[in-house]
């Protein structure tokens, strides 16, 4: 059976590899997973030192427990290759990935109780994240700065930018609204979508669609009323 010693021809020191897996790789993976869930500015390597150390130390505790339970000695050249690979997968990828993912949930839990700041950098991001969790169709009623109202469906054809990009909103399914009441009158057929800039938006309201709209309808749908989505 091949062991870790077979890798010595490719790397000058096995100890260097183990140090990388234990000290640096967990932090990189945890930060990468965290950044997948929370919008933010691109991280600068020089400013990641403390975060890398903190995340890696958390993962190292799991790594020590793993070594104690399994008896694996990752720095030993006679350790079977599959055991070294499994150690790298667990300590270097799976554990830090889970920590990076659930740190977001922990911050949201603490934020809801007033013990921490919300991880979302802007209300714009938090608002659309909430909409994305809805399991019912939503009608967006967008009031523009000039008083006009634009309607659209929040669905797979809609998209919004996130921090640090400038806020803008793309609506793929555009609807006709009653300008006085904001009620849905129908879908605008053969529309390719509308792009709205934050500077032109005064307010955005999300309403639950009582009756789903027909995106591919040849003309306006039947009258459908909406109610404010809480």
Is the pLDDT confidence value at 11 over 50? Answer: no
Is the pLDDT confidence value at 221 over 60? Answer: no
**CA-based nearest residue to 137, from 173, 185, 179:** 173
Which alpha helices (H) appear in 71-220, and where do they start and end?
81-89, 95-112, 123-132
Separation CA 162–CA 157 (nearest Å): 16
C-beta of residue 203 within 8 angstroms of C-beta of residue 147: no
* Inside any domain, residue 70: yes
* Inside any domain, residue 91: yes
How many CA atoms within 13 Å lie on the side-chain side of 214?
A: 9
Domain end among 49, 77, 112: 112
- Per residue in 120-161, pLDDT (tens digit) is 888 888 888 888 888 777 889 999 988 889 888 888 888 888
Please check whether residues 94 and 134 belong to one and the same domain: no
Please check whether residues 149 and 108 belong to one and the same domain: no
Please check whether residues 157 and 75 belong to one and the same domain: no
Separation CA 208–CA 171 (nearest Å): 16
- Per residue in 77-88, pLDDT (tens digit) is 677 777 777 877
Please check whether residues 40 and 72 belong to one and the same domain: yes
Mean pLDDT of the chain: 75
Phi, psi of 168 (to 5 degrees): -145, 160
Query: Angle 9-91-40 (CA atoms, 0-180°, nearest 5)?
Result: 110
Average pLDDT over every residue of 84-95: 80
pLDDT class of 211 with cuts at 50, 70, 90: low
Sheet strand arrangement including 138-144:
184-187, 173-177, 149-154, 138-144, 201-209, 226-228
Please check whether residues 11 and 107 belong to one and the same domain: yes
> Domain with 181 in it: what CATH number?
2.30.30
* Inside any domain, residue 133: yes
Please check whether residues 145 and 211 belong to one and the same domain: yes
Point out the least confidently predicted range of 55-59, 77-81, 217-221. Answer: 217-221
Separation CA 100–CA 93 (nearest Å): 10
The residues that bridge with 15 in the sheet, in sequence order, are none
Q: Domain count of the chain?
A: 2
Running DSSP on this structure, what letter comes out for residue 199? G
**pLDDT, position 212:** 56
**CA-based nearest residue to 162, from 193, 126, 134:** 126
**pLDDT, position 43:** 66
**pLDDT, position 169:** 92
pLDDT class of 218 with cuts at 50, 70, 90: very low
* Inside any domain, residue 194: yes
Please check whether residues 136 and 96 belong to one and the same domain: no
Tokens describing residue 153: 């469906």
Please check whether residues 130 and 64 belong to one and the same domain: no
**pLDDT, position 31:** 82
The CA-based dihedral angle spanning residues 104, 106, 111, 114, taken in that order and rounded to the nearest 10 degrees: -160
Separation CA 129–CA 150 (nearest Å): 21
pLDDT class of 165 with cuts at 50, 70, 90: confident
Please check whether residues 148 and 49 belong to one and the same domain: no
Q: Is the pTM of this model over 0.75?
A: no
Instruction: Report the Cα 67 to chain-centroid distance in Å.
Output: 32
**pLDDT, position 142:** 92
* Inside any domain, residue 83: yes
**pLDDT, position 118:** 79
Please check whether residues 36 and 102 belong to one and the same domain: yes
Expressed as residue numbers, the domain containing 145 is 126-228
Domain end among 65, 82, 112: 112
């Amino acid at each position: 059976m091949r062991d870790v010693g077979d890798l010595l021809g490719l790397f000058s020191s096995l100890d260097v590899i183990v140090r990388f897996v234990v000290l640096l790789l967990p932090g990189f993976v945890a930060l990468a997973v965290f950044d997948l869930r929370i919008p933010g500015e691109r991280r600068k390597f020089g400013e990641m030192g403390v975060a890398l150390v903190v995340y890696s130390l958390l993962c190292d505790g799991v790594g020590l427990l793993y070594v104690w339970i399994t008896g694996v000695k990752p720095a030993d050249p006679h350790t079977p290759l599959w055991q070294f690979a499994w150690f790298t997968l667990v300590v270097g990828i799976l554990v830090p990935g889970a920590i990076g993912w659930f740190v977001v949930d922990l911050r949201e839990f603490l934020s809801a109780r007033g013990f921490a700041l919300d991880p979302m950098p802007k209300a714009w991001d938090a608002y659309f994240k909430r909409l994305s969790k809805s399991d019912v169709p939503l009608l967006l009623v967008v009031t523009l700065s000039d008083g006009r109202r634009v309607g659209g469906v929040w669905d797979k054809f809609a998209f919004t930018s996130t921090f640090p990009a400038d806020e803008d909103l793309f609506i793929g399914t555009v609807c006709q609204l009653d300008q006085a009441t904001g009620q849905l009158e129908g879908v605008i057929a053969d529309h390719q979508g509308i792009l709205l800039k934050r500077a032109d938006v005064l307010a955005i309201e999300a309403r639950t669609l009582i009756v789903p709209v027909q995106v591919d309808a040849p003309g306006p749908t039947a009258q459908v009323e909406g109610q404010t989505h809480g």
